A = this chain, B = another copy of it.
């Protein structure tokens, strides 16, 4: 019989322990995300996978915000974040700090997500764009490349928080759980 694990069995970190624990060398940049519910959901994903930090840009809502809290479920307390009005400037800054900046976007030269292998010792930033228009051309100009999630349907688009989750999972799996 399948028996659920109790919260005490899940090995959750305390908020304080999490702040000093090893983070994934990955920053998520959210550019012009319209829905605060999506922002909250990305906060939750960032907590779950110990993402280094979030950079919220443009019209993306910032905490404190009722709808972010609704889906973030406390993870705004555990995930580091900053706000930058212009994504282009934030990406320039990240690149000057040595981050490799990759858009999660359907671009002519994008690499299929499953073929992406994070390079050891390199810190990455993944850029996620607006729900309708995706990563803006202005932001793409400051990216080193793009990763694309292959899709096989009629709509050819995923919810942005789901796309972020898949991209971060793939990074975690290859970076932290490699060999499995």
A residues at B contact (CB < 8 Å): 1-5, 7, 9-15, 17-18, 21, 37, 41, 44-50, 71, 73-75, 78, 103, 105-110, 112, 114-115, 134-135, 137, 140-141, 143, 145-146, 149-159, 161-166, 169-170, 172-173, 176-177, 180
Contacts and interface: CB of A to CB of B under 8 A. Distances in A.
B44 A159 contact: yes
Nearest to A7: B156
Given A158-B165, A161-B159, A49 B10 contact: no
Copies in the complex: 2
Contacts of A105: 2, 4
18 contacts: A1-B141, A2-B140, A2-B143, A3-B140, A4-B140, A5-B110, A12-B154, A13-B152, A41-B162, A44-B157, A44-B162, A48-B152, A49-B151, A74-B154, A78-B154, A150-B177, A162-B162, A163-B165
A168 to B, nearest CB: 9
The 8 closest A-B pairs by CB, nearest first: A162-B165, A47-B153, A2-B140, A48-B151, A50-B152, A41-B159, A166-B169, A114-B180
A159 B45 contact: yes
B154 A106 contact: no
A7 B133 CA distance: 11
B5 A106 contact: yes
A5 B78 contact: no
B107 A155 contact: no
A41 to B, nearest CB: 4
A103 B13 contact: no
Contact of A180 (B5, B103, B115, B172): B115
A143 to B, nearest CB: 6
